[in-house]
A and B are shown apart, each in its own frame.
Chain A
């Protein structure tokens, strides 16, 4: 990825505020691949991820004047993307409230370290394979770092629901990774 220095980035941001097409194109090309990875985590399918990317960048360019340069520009764009994903999710689907975590599903100690063996696309596919509510909560909590309170507010669920969904999502993901490793191992054995 080409890393633009601060001066260049400021010029590009100013250009975007002035509605300059070249500046907007440069910003898009700088951050599109990273943001597409984020969108792939939130979208169930690639098509949804593309939709989220488009919507997110439109919002970025329209609200560029609201960027106060307090944090990193990439972090700001990411947050805009995540908010777009949350909005899409709230419109498209309802989060299923799940019952409180049951002990047999708590597999936190059984996770394997097989993540390194997985390709990025495979890992993203596994995340995308989670149910909508699980995937949202897991992404927001485990990757983005939101608290359960924030997740509950943003998704319109209870904190307990957020916690239970996180645990279930984690357990499902760990089990999926474990199975994947087994398949890969069996293939290697042959």
Chain B
């Protein structure tokens, strides 16, 4: 028998129409009371398969809940560890950035042509005051501006130092002080290094001068050899006529040789004068030249070599290797450059900021 709900409830609650069960409803209920329709057998298997699946999922959820409940301490520790790792990563990034800023502030290799230096120093003043105090005309404000400012500030400071200059000179000065995009911060020390770097070229220039001096001599020798070589004339005209012509030709050749000698002498004089011209910018910045010691020169060369080697390694090595190298170089440079003492003052470099204490 079907256990149908008593429809009298409808009457009690007033939900039924006219508070009595509808005759059609009663009739239908009577018919449906005995209704039995056998489902397919497969349905039972499907139902039990679904039942097992739901039981498994429920068990899985419960076990997961228990697992999560049993290890709250571990989860907290993991969370804490994650937080600390984030903090450590942030600190490492900050350090790397600081070192990177410091490193990018350094000039790696800048070679100025002598003309550029001449343009920079028409009046013979030093390009930028170094930290050793040799350059009296440079004020502290200018140095600070150069150290902490942008390339534009550096260019402005340099222009001030160089006094009244033409527009071309100014342009050259700004170009000279911003030779690389990554050299954002020009310090007075770095600009002093510029002059040092130029000095490095002096021996090469001297060699070139000597070579230029030797060249006219070689030319003279070759001209003389050509004159002495009679085979050129003897084979052309036989007899006396030939001799006369040969003498004439010899006289002509002698005249030519004399002219050539004169030209060569002029060239030689010019070549002899050339070293003076080439070394002029160095001489104009004689204060710097005198102050450059062998140690400074070696440091400049070493820094150039380091930078070149570093660039090479950066290409061949990975990111982390480059980073480690960068950190090492930065730490080394910081240790080298952090304090520069002098008779008058002490300069302490902290990152891109320089603190100068006068005695």
Task: Please give the residue numbers on chain A whose beta carbons come within 8 Å of chain B beta carbons, in ascending order.
Answer: 1, 19, 21, 24-25, 28-29, 32-34, 36-37, 40-41, 50, 53-54, 57-58, 61-62, 71-72, 74-75, 78, 108, 111, 113, 115-116, 118, 120-121, 123-124, 141-150, 159, 163, 166-167, 170, 173-174
Contacts and interface: CB of A to CB of B under 8 A. Distances in A.
A28 B31 contact: no
Nearest to A121: B37
Contact of A53 (B3, B23, B36, B39): B39
Contacts of A120: 31-32, 35, 37
Contact of B47 (A53, A78, A163): A53
B15 A148 contact: yes
B3 to A, nearest CB: 4
A38 to B, nearest CB: 8
A28 B46 CA distance: 12
B65 interface: no
A71 B6 CA distance: 13
22 contacts: A1-B36, A24-B51, A28-B47, A32-B43, A36-B36, A36-B37, A36-B38, A41-B32, A54-B43, A61-B51, A62-B55, A71-B3, A113-B27, A142-B25, A145-B4, A145-B6, A147-B13, A150-B15, A163-B17, A166-B17, A173-B24, A173-B28
Helix, strand, loop or mixed for chain A's interface?
A: helix
Nearest to A79: B5
Contacts of B2: 34, 74, 78
A37 B32 contact: yes
B31 A145 contact: no
B24 A32 contact: no
B3 A145 contact: no
Contact of B28 (A57, A108, A142): A142
Q: Which 10 A-B pairs have the closest CB atoms?
A: A145-B5, A147-B15, A142-B25, A75-B3, A37-B35, A148-B15, A33-B36, A111-B24, A147-B13, A36-B39
Contact of A37 (B16, B36, B44): B36
B38 A142 contact: no
Contacts of B306: none
Contacts, number: 127
A32 B16 CA distance: 31
A111 B23 contact: yes
Contact of A33 (B13, B24, B39): B39
B50 interface: yes
B312 interface: no
A142 B13 contact: no
Interface of B: 2-10, 13, 15-17, 22-25, 27-29, 31-32, 35-40, 43-44, 46-48, 50-51, 54-55
A58 B32 contact: no
A58 B44 CA distance: 11
B1 to A, nearest CB: 8
Nearest to A36: B39
Most buried by A among B2, B7, B24, B51: B24
A143 B55 CA distance: 33
Contact of B37 (A33, A74, A75): A33
Contacts of A21: 48
Contacts of B22: 108, 142, 170
A108 B26 CA distance: 13
B9 A25 contact: no
A170 B4 contact: no
Most buried by A among B3, B15, B29: B15
A58 B32 CA distance: 24
A32 B39 contact: yes
A36 B6 CA distance: 21
B53 to A, nearest CB: 9
Given A57-B47, A144-B5, A108 B24 contact: yes
Contacts of B37: 33, 36-37, 40, 120-121, 124
A47 B33 CA distance: 22
B91 to A, nearest CB: 53
Most buried by A among B13, B35, B46, B50: B35
Contact of A50 (B29, B35, B43): B43
A124 to B, nearest CB: 7
Nearest to B14: A147
A20 to B, nearest CB: 12
B9 A147 contact: yes
